[in-house]
Every structure is written in structure tokens, then in C-alpha cells.
Chains A and B, each alone.
Chain A
């Protein structure tokens, strides 16, 4: 398949282009900032006859996910997008969709949860779905958001996986920012099918072979069923890596589940998710130029949590700060909890948590400088005094 022309486009447009390329059978979606442009664009593709898809304009996100659930049960390829309160409204069905092992691809243009109501980026919405059983990928830039969307269909529909996938791109920072994006162009001879074959469901509603889905499972069976779900989810990491490899081999872009940047000799390092990674790389470059051995680890795949990859990436650092654009009130940031959990019982770095960028609070190179300084101070002391610190807010 031809790659590609490079176009300047917003993240939302890039995602819509990618979703169109994957030729979903059903889209059920409800508008919400900053995702709206994705579903508007897809509606245009359908209206213009460029995409042969039933586009269901549902009356709520709850019904959006319910319709996705139903369409996926019928065996269709299904796409939706949401953010923030929309995800909060649909969350009941988000869980059920994963437990049914129905592949659905959903883009979240990350936005803070109310209240106060706020339309700008953080990851509190995605973290709401953290335990839902969906695979979760986060994009650093618009190109990755584009590529992730295509990968997500392949991952979700792989029969060993058969799980829904959430693709996150940071609201406004990516969704509304124009970047150069290299798009794939299928030709008559070369379609996307080689990479993304037509969906062959793990099981489906079939009038010739009736099954029942959604039964009441009492204690004798519930835990066994959930254990099976967990296994499929954990094992999906291997498939995700295969898909990343295959995509990279075809089109030259590899997006590893965990990507170390300048980690070989890093004394202190941060773990980042999403668009702040780019800012972090710039900060690393600046500090390296000043002679400081700092590094960064980008966490692309948040669920399943790539424990071994994180361990390998962090093992030689002296002190590590995990950056969360979300907080579990009364506790820590979610990515910190997972990262620290992954490192428990091993000799490794000091680990702490930085809460940054909630509700669209700017994350700048200075934010990273502050975090690296903070880590150096702890490293010098040999211990973490404050395990969770909020960076970049007034009065701290």
C-alpha cells in the first residue's frame, strides 16, 4: 500500500482519516468537545459516499456505547469517539463491552472531568476507564494518533485478543493542533486488507447458531469468567507488540509500548504519557546540553500495563518521577501506582509521582526542569520525602 502523502492536519482530522481508512461498518457517536471534529468529519465521509458505514446519531454517549456493543455483537467493525463527561456517562457499558470481549475502537480526545467543568486536556477521563478491561493506548503526536487508530482495529479484532481498544490523544494539544501527518493511501492493487483483514469475530449473534451473551453469572462461575477476561487482556500485550512490529515493517514507523529516551546513562528520569512526552524530550535535550544526565520513558500502552518493559526501561536510573495528568483522590496518580507496583521487590530507582497538567494547565520545558531538579534533590538525599508532588501550581 502506498505511503503516503504528508498533509498538515489536526489530530482529530488525522484520527478521522485513519478511522475511515479502516472502513468501519458502524459508527455510533455523540458529539463532545474536543472530540467532536472526529465524528463530524466521519459524518461528512459517510454523507459524501466516501465511507460505506451506518452512522448512528445516538441521543447520548450511553446509547453510543450500547449501539457499539450491539453492532460488535452482530460481527461488525465498530468505531466511536468521546471524551470526559461523555465517557463518564457511557462507562457502565464500557465495562460490559470489554467483559463480552467485543472489539470496538474508541478514540478519547482527553479532557478533564467535571467539576469544575473544563474542556481542556488531562487524563482523568481515560483513567476513569482504567479498570474497564479496554486496552488503552496514548498518542504523543498527531502522527501517532493516526497510526494508533489503524493499529487499534487490528489489535481489537485479533481473535486472541477480541477486546475493545481506547486510543487517547490529548484534547486540544493534539486534537486541535495542526501537525504534518503522513497518511496511507490504498490503491486498487494494494488495500489495507493485508494489515487489517475483514473482521472474523471470536463469536457473534447468528440466527443459524444461536448463543446467549450477557447471562447472570453467580459466584460459582463469575470469577472464572473474569479470570478468562484478565488472561485475554494480559496476553494482548504480545499481540500489540506484533502489530506494532508489522506496522513498522510496512510503513516505517514503530511505536513501542514503552519507549526510553536517553535512558542508557540517565541518573534521573520521568515517565510520561501522551503529548507531554514531546515537551519532555525537548527538556531532556536542553538539560543534556547542560551536562545533566536526564532521561525519559514514554508509556504508550497503559492497559495492558507493560510491566516487564517498564522494569527494563527504569532499572538503571537513580530516581524516577512518574508524571500523571490525573489523580486518584485520596491516593496517587494512577500511572505512578502501576509503575511503583511494577518495581516493587526489585533493586531499582527511587520512585515518586508528579501530578501535572490537570485541566489543561500548561506543561512546559520549565515544568520538566522543575521535576528533574526535584528528582536530583531526592537522589542526593537518597530517599523520597514527598512521594506525590503537584508541579506547576500556584502556592505550592
Chain B
């Protein structure tokens, strides 16, 4: 088993993926996520396949490209399929001796729109086919690149421009799609959730995913300061509370059925989901002009139910881990 960094000082000093000079919003954690992916794999050359998304647009405004690695963008919904082709091309050229044998890692990355919604077919296909690549979904819970429209990832009750918080309908009515369980159902060797506020955990997961021979998937929550309506300094604070409140627990799934919970520790006192929600302007209508207790209760109940489900899966995995 590979060694994983245990402290931040273990990570490489140099930037290996995204460079300074990108034009993501001030304080956007997508920049951090891209940096961490590069730092997670210090010993392997990367090829970066980007879906259309904030990260793509903001890092490559011609002729400024903020990438130290070979970087390619094709379209919105097809990063996984494009990565399939890159992987296949590289492997065949190496097999035929036309390019040097290298342990190149292909990283595909997309936002929640490109992953949950328009891109899920291509992702499902690529995972089913078993290409050796890592797909990373950075989830900011809406179509932020086009200006905050609801996606399958948007949480219940959230305001977006296409799920406005009106008198008749107070924000998005549906619940967040259980993406990782959908991915895990493919039975791939490794998939995991992560948070930009837990950099070493994310780095370990990316490294673990890279070490898999075959497809692996990491789903990382990335609160969007513009879309969620909070200050430029708060991305990591919000993402931390997403985990601590059990709204976005961090866990891993091995071979599609062995669930391992990482954070938060179930023994710790439960943080109310309200502590997480009240930082976010997109949910202000739950608190002002008057408190909407019934909606808050629905959200808390949903979080509790999903958490219980996850604990059950993790406990079952532990009990049945006799093989």
C-alpha cells in the first residue's frame, strides 16, 4: 500500500497542475482543489481532461492557460468519454513503442452539472468499460458557470436562478441526487467523497484513486461563494460545516459495496445542519423574514436519514468484512 502524506509539509512545494494567474472568482476553492490533485500525485505525470465548467473557463482564457500539465477540454458532458480516448490512445502508442513507456495518469474533472446531469451517461459508460482514469467531480451544487441554475446536485430548498425562492415555491423542491451511491453501484474498485476543507483527506483519496488500475471516482464538495452567497474568505469554513453537520459526510466505497466512513466521527456531538445552512445567503429565505421551521425540519430529517443509511452501510461493511 502506498504511503500517504500525514502532514501538509509532506506535499510537494511546487505547483504541479493549475498555476497562478487563473481567473476563478476571488476565494474560489476550485483553484485549491485543482492544486491538491497535482500535489496528490507528485511522482506521476498527469494529463488533465476538463469538462466545460468554471474551472475550464476561468483557467484557460486564450492565450492564457493556467496549466503545468497537458490539458484538454472538449465539451460539457463528455470529459469521461474524452478521457477514455486519451487513455486508450496513450496505452496503444506505448504498447506499439511509439511513445516512451510512462506511468501517465489521466485525470478527468467536471462540475456537478457535467457530472450529475448532462455527463452522467458518459461517466457511467467509461466506468463500465473500465478505463484506467480518475474522475473528479467538484460539486458546487448548481450551474455556476452559467450563473447559478439548479442542478441535480442542488440541495433541497436552495435558491437558484431557476429555482427561485418565491412565495408559492420556496426554492428547489427536490433533494440532492445520491451521486456517489450511483457511481458505487457500478462496482468500481474505489470511489469516495471529499471536502476542500480536508486537504490531506482529499489528497489521500486522489492518490488512492490514482493507484487503482481502472476507473476511480472522487466527489468533492466545493461551496460556491457567488452561488451560495457568502464572503470570499468563507469557502472552507462552509465546506467544513457541510461535513461536520453530516450534510456531506466523507466516506469511501470499495468495490461498490464496502463503505468506510471517514468524517465526521459519529462519536462526536452532532452539529445541527442549521449551523451549516445559516452561513449561506441562498438559504436566507429559511430564516428571514420569518423562520421556516418546517423546511428546516425537512432538511434535518433528510440529513439524519441519509446519515443513518450511511452508518448502516458502513457497519454492515465492517461486519461482513470477513473475506
Q: A contacts B directly in the complex (CB < 8 Å)?
A: yes
> Residues of B contacting A76 with CB < 8 Å?
88-89, 92-93
Q: Is the CB of A198 within 8 A of B98?
A: yes
Please report B residues at the A interface, Cβ cutoff 8 Å: 45-47, 49-50, 56-57, 60-63, 65, 67-75, 77-78, 80-93, 95-96, 98-99, 102, 104, 121-122, 124-126, 128-129
Count the A residues whose beta carbon is within 8 Å of the partner chain — how many?
Answer: 44
In the bound complex, do residue A71 and residue B62 qualify as a contact, i.e. CB atoms below 8 Å apart? no
Verify if A298 is at the interface (C-beta below 8 Å from B). no
Name A95's closest neighbour in chain B (CB-CB): B75
Partner of A71, one of B57, B85, B96, B121: B85
A73 adjacent to chain B (CB < 8 Å): yes
The interface-forming segment of A55-63, A243-251, A315-323 is A55-63
B77 to chain A, nearest CB (A): 7
Residue of B nearest to A221 (CB): B62
B93 to chain A, nearest CB (A): 6
Residues on B with C-beta less than 8 A from A69 are: 74, 82, 85
Q: Which residues of chain B are within 8 angstroms of A71 by Cβ–Cβ distance?
A: 85-86, 88-89, 92
Q: Which of A46-101 contact B (CB under 8 A)?
A: 52-54, 56-60, 62-64, 66-76, 78, 92-93, 96
Q: How far is the CB of B75 from chain A (nearest CB, A)?
A: 6
Give which listed residue, B45, B61, B86, contacts A70 with CB less than 8 A: B86
Q: List 8 A-B contacts (CB under 8 A).
A: A25-B96, A28-B88, A54-B88, A64-B81, A66-B85, A76-B93, A198-B98, A211-B71
Shortest CB-to-CB span from B270 to chain A, Å, is 41
* Cβ contact within 8 Å between A93 and B78: yes
Do B71 and A213 have beta carbons less than 8 Å apart? yes
Given contacts A28-B84, A74-B86, A198-B98, contact A212 B60 (CB under 8 A): yes
**A214 in contact (CB, < 8 A):** yes
Contact A70 B84 (CB under 8 A): yes
**In the assembled complex, how far is the CB of residue B142 from the closest CB belonging to chain A, in whole angstroms?**
20
Assess A67 versus B70: contact at CB under 8 Å? Given A62-B122, A93-B75, A207-B102.
no
Asked if residues A210 and B67 are in contact (CB atoms below 8 Å), the reply is: yes
Taken together as a complex, chains A and B put the C-alpha atoms of A168 and B308 apart, in Å, by 57
Q: Which residues of B contact A290 (CB under 8 A)?
A: none
* Nearest residue, chain B, Cβ from A57: B129
Chain A residues lying within 8 Å of B60, measured Cβ to Cβ, are 212, 214-216
Give A200 to B262 CA distance when docked, in angstroms: 48
- How far, in whole Å, are A63 and B85 apart by their CA atoms in the complex? 9
Chain A residues with CB below 8 A from B80, complex form: 63
B93 A70 Cβ-Cβ under 8 A? no
Instruction: Check if B72 sits within 8 Å of A213, measured CB to CB.
Output: yes
Query: Contacts A26-B92, A207-B104 known; A70 to B83 CB distance under 8 Å?
Result: yes
Contact across chains for A66 and B69 when beta carbons are under 8 A apart: no
Query: CA A54 – CA B88 in complex, angstroms?
Result: 6
Chain B residues with Cβ below 8 Å from A60 are: 121-122, 125
Query: Is A212 within 8 A of B67, CB to CB?
Result: yes
The residue from A56, A72, A96, A206 contacting B70, defined by CB atoms under 8 A apart = A206
Partner-B contacts on A (CB < 8 A): 25-26, 28, 52-54, 56-60, 62-64, 66-76, 78, 92-93, 96, 198, 205-207, 210-218, 221, 225
Bound together, the chains give a CA A350 to CA B96 distance in angstroms of 56
Q: Are B61 and A211 in contact (CB under 8 A)?
A: no
A212 & B71 in contact (Cβ 8 Å cutoff):
yes
Contact A70 B72 (CB under 8 A): yes
In the assembly, what is the distance between CA of A75 and CA of B93, in Å? 8
In the complex, A217→B47 CA distance in Å?
Answer: 21
**Beyond the given A58-B125, A63-B81, could you list 20 further A-B residue pairs with CB under 8 A, ordered by the A residue number?**
A26-B85, A26-B89, A28-B85, A58-B81, A58-B84, A63-B84, A67-B84, A70-B74, A70-B88, A73-B85, A73-B86, A74-B86, A93-B78, A96-B74, A96-B75, A207-B46, A211-B70, A213-B73, A215-B61, A217-B62
Write out the residue numbers on chain A whose beta carbons fall within 8 Å of the beta carbon of B67: 210, 212
Chain A: minimal CB distance from B90 (Å) = 5
Q: Return B21 CB to nearest CB of chain A, in Å.
A: 13
Asked whether A26 and B71 contact (CB < 8 A) given A66-B82, A215-B61, A215-B65, the answer is no
Pick the 3 closest A-B CB pairs, nearest first: A70-B85, A74-B89, A59-B125
B84 touches A56 (CB 8 A): yes
Q: B72 and A205: CB pair below 8 A?
A: yes
- Give, as a whole number of angstroms, the nearest-CB distance from B118 to chain A: 10
Given the complex, which residues of B lie within 8 Å of A59, measured CB to CB? Answer: 121-122, 124-125, 128
Cross-chain contact B73 with A72 (CB below 8 angstroms): no
Measured CB to CB, the nearest residue on chain A to B68 is A210
CA distance A24 to B47 in the complex (A): 22
Chain A residues contacting B56 (CB-CB under 8 Å) are: 214, 216
Chain B residue numbers with a CB within 8 Å of A212 are 60, 65, 67, 70-72
